[in-house]
Amino acid sequence: MGGHAGGVADETLVGGRNNAGVSRRGETVRRKMSARSPFVHAYLPHLEEAGFEGAPRVLRVDSGVEVLSYLAGEVPADPEWVPGKGNPLTAGMRSDEALVALGELLRELHSASAGFRPPGVVLEDGEIMPHGDLGPWNTVYRDGRPVAFIDWDACGPTTPLLDVAAAAWGFVPLESDRQLRETGFEVLPDLGARLRLFADAYGLEDRRGLVPALVQAKLRQAGQVSRWGLGARDSAVSLEFFADELRWLATRTDDFERALS
């Protein structure tokens, strides 16, 4: 906790995975400006104008600090999370109802994103600007139901199908049995059935393309490692993590393709 000249204490926020130095002051969230801030400050107002309620609002900039609206709720971000560890979720967050609501909220986001032309970025045919790092760690839940997404700094061009696939990894979640138990599943779920439920809730017209998109989503993430500023050791750890996820997916491909047929 910290104070400021107005006398109201600031509360350090721990939700999300890319929000060091983020604090709450009353009904606002304060974050230091980054190189991505001007881009986000163009995107979020577009979503607001389009009627999407699942994102914070940009209020102003104060001396290099961006001020956003505060979204009340719970963000299940484990501060001790490391690649390969399950992200603990409550029973409500793990429920089929929450998964359906996530698919619907993602579809609303994609619809609201249509027509946004980011400054300095050329979108290819069929591309949109999505969130870029969707998962429970960047989702606000109320009573177990997802209502909004936070931490928009990773937004970048992709296709709706690839974004659905990337989100499915975190939301279904597509994990090993060990990770699923760490997430909180005492009874291991039918991942194929949950993947189909998520795809149908989104309204995916051709489910057959989802499994190849799951592969491509991981390959795109692996391709971003070179831009993370990591040293040789941490880069190798990150790439091996993505390789392990792809190896795991290869063992489940037949099951997922049957579930999505």
Residue pLDDT, tens place only, 113-168? 988 988 888 899 999 999 999 999 999 999 999 999 999 988 889 999 999 999 99
User: Which pLDDT band, with edges at 50, 70 and 90, does 235 fall under?
Assistant: confident
d(CA 157, CA 124): 8
- Is residue 71 over pLDDT 60? yes
- Give pLDDT tens digits for 145-160: 999 999 998 888 999 9
CATH number at residue 132: 3.90.1200.10
Does residue 76 lie in a domain region? no
Does residue 237 lie in a domain region? yes
Does residue 21 lie in a domain region? no
**Model's pTM, two decimal places?**
0.90
If one counts the domains in the chain, the total is 1
Domain range for 157: 91-260
d(CA 252, CA 168): 14
Once rounded to an integer, what is the mean pLDDT over residues 38-48?
93
Q: Show Cβ contacts of residue 140 under 8 Å, excluding neighbours closer than 6 positions.
A: 15, 71, 72, 73, 74, 75, 146, 147, 148, 149, 150
Does residue 57 lie in a domain region? no
Per-residue pLDDT, 1: 37
Per-residue pLDDT, 97: 98
Does residue 164 lie in a domain region? yes
Does residue 162 lie in a domain region? yes
Does residue 179 lie in a domain region? yes
Does residue 45 lie in a domain region? no
